[in-house]
Chain A
Amino acid sequence: MKIAVTSQGGSLDSQVDPRFGRAAYFVIVDTSTMEFEAIENQNIAASGGAGIGSAKTVIDAGVQAVLTGNCGPNAHKTLTAAGIRLFTCLSGTVAEAIETYKSGKAVEASGPNVKSHSGMDA
């Protein structure tokens, strides 16, 4: 199963980026093999619609779940429309976040946990 983790760098040792829409990278990981690919986020400096653009990026990458820190309303709506499960409040390295997810300790978000544009100043 493929999942996307928002990341400050392009590897499994990188720190989880707390922002979804304006994350530096999306690390796309196959949870069974731990093979991964890092996608640089083109929406990082968008004036608006970053969350939607980022959601589109991970939808096109074919993931079934997203692990991140915070996610706003528009990104949440877009991910939900694609049937992608969203797990927020994750921190530490990408590898640690995946471990948390695999062990069933990650909490699935029932909705957005921050307002629009929360990642603009972070």
Chain B
Amino acid sequence: MSRGFTVAVASGKGGTGKTTIAVNLAHIAAGLGRKVQYLDCDVEEPNGHIFLKPQITGRRAVTVDVPQVDTDKCTGCGECGRICQYSAIVHITGNNVLTFEQLCHSCGGCIRICPVGAIKPRLLAIGEIELGTAGNVGFVQGRLRIGNVRTPSLIKKVKSHIRKGCLAIVDVPPGTSCPVVEAVKGADFVLLVTEPTPFGLNDLKLAVALVRQMGLPFAVAINRYGLGNDEVEKYCKSENIEIILKLPDDRRIAEAYSTGQMVVDALCEYKEQFLGLAHVMAGR
């Protein structure tokens, strides 16, 4: 199969098991002979490496452009501040212009609108990307610098490493905000991981609303199945949403996780389920 396929493993609620499912799926699919990449887009706290144990062979710094004002050229017209929708640049008085680089979205509007060319782009380092291999799995991970908030910009860079012809498994950050939108954007399929609890259901509904609005095909995976209640299943049935995987509430899975082991390696009986999932992904 030469056509590439990108699966985003997402969830509304945090801690539902995105990484567990993403890394095990990557490992099993690679074992089937597919070209597989795992991309950790949970850049605020990437943890897929704990399970895949990759050999890192390359690092790239990721930067964004932020404005730098030449006060000698500035005439104090204030156009820069008026065009900025994020208050990242603000004209005080005279040629006194303040910039707040963490609020900047790098649109370049202030640079273009300045009538005297007093604003130039300056590089701001926001994080780094690590590249490597974990067995047969291509490994890419983004790590945001502490104190930085330009999460979507870094996620976009991580995804630029998706190779043609690969099954690319994108580990998405939790929630339904901008970083999630950036991480699932362009995916061929979204796997929404949830747990059968009221919190799991509430946040699943938010995630479903997001992927539907983005027009992305999706299905649900229920982790810790057997816990809580059957409201998630009822919801999926009433909304006509496919439940593609049910991973049981098994203490041994948690034990394997806590020691950084792959579920499919530690507990052979779950290999079948991930093989099934990998085949379904290959067929889409």
Interface residues of A (CB under 8 A from B): 46, 48-50, 52-53, 55-56, 59, 74, 77-78, 81-82
Contacts and interface: CB of A to CB of B under 8 A. Distances in A.
A52 B280 CA distance: 51
A49 B86 contact: yes
B98 A48 contact: no
Contacts of A77: 98
B103 A56 contact: no
A77 B87 CA distance: 13
B81 A56 contact: yes
B67 to A, nearest CB: 14
A81 B96 contact: yes
Nearest to A59: B92
Contacts of A78: 90, 92, 98
Contacts, number: 37
Contacts of A82: 92-93, 96
B235 interface: no
Nearest to A116: B102
Contacts of A74: 87, 100, 103
B180 interface: no
| Most A-side CB within 10 Å, residue of B81, B88, B92, B103 | B92
A74 B100 CA distance: 8
Interface residues of B, number: 12
A49 B103 contact: yes
B87 A59 contact: no
B98 A46 contact: no
A53 B87 contact: yes
A55 B98 CA distance: 12
A49 B87 contact: yes
Given A56-B87, A81-B92, A49 B81 contact: no
Q: Which 9 A-B pairs have the closest CB atoms?
A: A49-B87, A52-B87, A82-B92, A53-B87, A81-B92, A49-B86, A49-B103, A81-B98, A56-B90
Nearest to B103: A49
Contact of A55 (B86, B90, B96): B90
Interface string B80-124: 010000111011110010101001000000000000000000000
Contacts of B86: 48-49
Contacts of B93: 59, 82
B92 A48 contact: no
Contacts of B90: 52-53, 55-56, 78
Contact of A49 (B91, B96, B100): B100
Interface string B113-154: 000000000000000000000000000000000000000000
Contacts of B100: 49, 52, 74
A60 to B, nearest CB: 9
A85 to B, nearest CB: 15
A24 B259 CA distance: 52
A50 B90 CA distance: 12
A23 B259 CA distance: 50
A120 B99 CA distance: 22
Contact of A48 (B87, B91, B96): B87
Nearest to B85: A49
Contacts of A55: 90
A36 to B, nearest CB: 23
Contacts of B87: 46, 48-50, 52-53, 56, 74
A73 to B, nearest CB: 10
A87 B236 CA distance: 54
